[in-house]
């Protein structure tokens, strides 16, 4: 079942930025911070599926995946070590009155990609509210974990990706497995990043 991912421009998890004439994408926003000379690629408000088996409207919550990529300047250079990426797991509470949260700061995150285990480290935790006046507001728990671009490439080419967020809360669901929506997200992000190699100019 399709459900609305209530992540308003990645919940403004990035610094104030200034729009520029970048390659167009139906899925991603590109913004440029002229003070720090940094371009940020982030997910738009979008329709999408939660990670399979992590919940839905019936269970009252669901875990979604989005991501964010930053690189120096306006033109992407694949050799630039300053390019950074982050996977962002968003727990959405369909009950607008929900007060029972599942995660905490520094919860460990790990992935099993085609049998190869990668411990990503401890996530930065925050909370926000997503939605609008029509569908209502929803509580969001946000877990952000840095990853390197080679791992995103590996995920994009993988057959099976499993993951786990080891929460201190014992009632939190265990491991999960990426579905088509999660693979599509990573592939589209990398394709969009590649578009910045040739279709933009340096400052």
Q: Give residue-wise pLDDT tens across range 28-82.
A: 999 999 999 999 999 986 656 889 988 777 677 889 999 999 999 999 998 888 8
Facing residues of 32 across strands?
A: 18, 39
Confidence of residue 132 (pLDDT cuts 50, 70, 90): low
Is the model's pLDDT at 202 over the cut of 80?
A: no
In-domain check, residue 63: yes
Q: Which domain holds residue 82?
A: 3-198
203 belongs to a structural domain: no
pLDDT at 59: 74
Q: What's the average model confidence in pLDDT over 100-110?
A: 91
pLDDT beyond 80 at 151: yes
Beta bridge partners of 41: 30, 69
Rounded Cα–Cα distance for residues 8 and 60 (Å): 20
Let me know if residue 178 belongs to a domain. Answer: yes
Neighbours of 62 (CB within 10 A): 21
Residue 156: inside a domain: yes
Which of 43-47, 103-107, 110-114 is the least confident region? Answer: 43-47
Q: How many domains does the chain have?
A: 1
Assigned domain for 36 exists: yes
Q: Are 22 and 41 in contact (CB under 8 A)?
A: no
Q: Torsion-angle region of residue 196: left (phi > 0), alpha (psi -120 to 50) or beta?
A: alpha
Pick the more confident residue, 139 or 52.
52
Nearest to 147 by CA among 93, 94, 202, 186: 186
Please tell me the predicted confidence (pLDDT) of residue 141.
Answer: 92
The model's pTM: 0.84
HEC profile of 157-174? HCCCEEEEECCCCCCCCC
Cα dihedral 69, 127, 89, 56, rounded to 10, equals -140
How far is the C-alpha of 95 from the C-alpha of 75, rounded, in Å? 42
DSSP tally for the chain: helices H, then strands E: 2, 12
Residues pairing with 46 in the sheet: 5
């Amino acid at each position: 079942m399709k459900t609305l991912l209530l992540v308003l421009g990645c919940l403004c998890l990035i610094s104030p930025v200034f729009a520029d004439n970048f390659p167009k994408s139906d899925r991603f926003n590109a913004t440029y911070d002229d003070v720090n000379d940094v371009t940020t690629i982030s997910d738009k408000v979008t329709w999408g599926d939660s990670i399979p088996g992590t919940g839905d409207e019936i269970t009252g919550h669901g875990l979604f995946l989005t991501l964010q990529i930053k690189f120096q300047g306006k033109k992407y250079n694949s050799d630039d070590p300053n390019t950074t990426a982050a996977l962002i797991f968003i727990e959405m509470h369909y009950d607008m009155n929900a007060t029972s949260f599942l995660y905490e700061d520094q919860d460990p995150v790990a992935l099993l990609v085609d049998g190869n285990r990668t411990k990503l480290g401890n996530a930065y935790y925050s909370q926000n509210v997503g939605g609008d006046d029509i569908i209502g507001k929803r509580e969001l728990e946000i877990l952000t974990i840095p990853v390197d671009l080679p791992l995103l490439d590996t995920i994009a080419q993988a057959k099976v990706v499993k993951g786990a967020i080891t929460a201190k809360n014992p009632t939190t669901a265990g491991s999960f497995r990426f579905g088509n929506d999660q693979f599509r997200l990573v592939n589209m992000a990398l394709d969009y990043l590649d578009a910045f190699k040739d279709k933009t100019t340096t400052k």
